[in-house]
């Protein structure tokens, strides 16, 4: 956990472009955006991936899911948005602190 990139962002040790935060989650702009809007939503608690989510995380996971549509609307994504969670190396996960990609806008690429 000590060398977790997103834990360092949460601790303010690595800069990030913050969009939203509360006691359970933190949301910031992806450094290499794949669409007009590309945010990353992370729990404050370090969870490696969806594989490590358990009953104790019910509250934070439900909270994050309910915040996403609000965040999308605040970004001007009135007609919809895409969420992606990459899980494990086989799922394309590069940073092992659970994160939800929130993407949208005119240049949203097709989902392959």
Contacts of 81 (CB under 8 A, 6+ apart): 37, 68, 69, 72, 75, 102, 103, 104
- Binding ligand AMP by CB under 6 A: which of 80, 90, 92, 110? 92
The C-alpha atoms of residue 90 and residue 57 are separated, in whole angstroms, by: 23
Question: Binds 49, which of Zn ion, ligand AMP, none (CB < 5 to 8 A, cut-off by type)?
Answer: none
Q: Is 41 helix (H, G, I), strand (E, B) or coil?
A: strand
57 binds Zn ion (CB under 5 A): no
Compute the least distance from the CB of residue 3 to ligand AMP, in Å.
Answer: 13
Tell me which residues are annotated as active site. Answer: 99
By C-beta, is 79 or 112 nearer to ligand AMP? 112
The C-alpha atoms of residue 99 and residue 40 are separated, in whole angstroms, by: 6
- Binding Zn ion by CB under 5 A: which of 4, 53, 84, 108? 4
What are the helix and strand counts (H, E) for the chain? 2, 5
By C-beta, is 92 or 110 nearer to ligand AMP? 92
Question: Binds 7, which of ligand AMP, Zn ion, none (CB < 5 to 8 A, cut-off by type)?
Answer: Zn ion
């Amino acid at each position: 956990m000590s060398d977790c990139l997103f834990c360092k962002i949460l601790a303010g040790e690595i800069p990030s472009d913050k969009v939203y935060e509360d006691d359970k989650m933190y949301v910031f702009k992806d450094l290499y955006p794949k669409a007009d809007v590309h945010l990353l939503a992370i729990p404050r608690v370090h969870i490696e991936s969806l594989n490590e989510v358990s009953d104790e995380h019910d509250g934070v996971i439900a909270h994050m899911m309910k915040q996403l549509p609000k965040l999308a609307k605040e970004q001007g994504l009135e007609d919809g948005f895409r969420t992606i969670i990459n899980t494990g190396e086989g799922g394309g996960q590069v940073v092992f602190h659970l994160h939800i990609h929130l993407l949208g806008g005119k240049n949203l690429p097709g989902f392959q």
